[in-house]
Amino acid sequence: MDLATIESIIRQHGGQKSALIAMLQDVQQQYTYLPKDVLQYLSRTLNVPLSRAYSLATFYRAFSLKPKGRHPISVCLGTACHVKGAVKILEKFERELGIKTGQTTPDLMFGLEQVRCLGCCGLAPVVTVGQDLYGKVTVSKVDQIIKRYQKQEAAHAKA
């Protein structure tokens, strides 16, 4: 745990107990998950029972107790995406990555999630990878999407 980072997150939210959700969001963004020691630290510092921090962490979908991939993949399963065959896209990702929805690849490169509507229904079916959004995705395009990030990382590693 990087104490300075956590302290600065607490400070940004004025050390308020009521801002615990917002702090957890920042922690999630920083670490891709909520590490146990961070939850403990927040609970002690804010004087909030650990059980409450844990209940928030498990109630809200944005939080994870396990590390997520460096490139989190979200397949939208909103209504418009559903009627346009998003389930098959999700299954293709599962097969290509060798993981189930909700899991992360062993090398922590990709995480796979389903999401309930990203609000880009006009471009259904939709997939996001980190900040990148892909519209009108087909089963055959799944490969290209994955390769793009693999190449990116390979190029990064070389440099």
The residue ranges that bind other proteins (CB under 8 A) are: 16-22, 24-25, 55-56, 59-63, 77-80, 82-85, 88, 91-92, 95, 115-124, 126, 131, 133-135, 138-140
CB-nearer residue toward other proteins: 109 or 121: 121
- And the tokens for 2? 């990087």
CB-nearer residue toward other proteins: 49 or 158: 49
CB atoms near residue 63 (< 10 Å): 18
CB-nearer residue toward other proteins: 110 or 134: 134
The number of CA neighbours under 13 Å toward the Cβ of 55 is 5
CB-nearer residue toward other proteins: 71 or 84: 84
CB of 71 to other proteins, least distance (A): 16
CB of 3 to other proteins, least distance (A): 23
DSSP E strands in 1-157: the ranges are: 71-76, 110-115, 127-129, 132-134
Burial of 131 per CB tally in 10 Å (0-12, 13-18, 19+): exposed
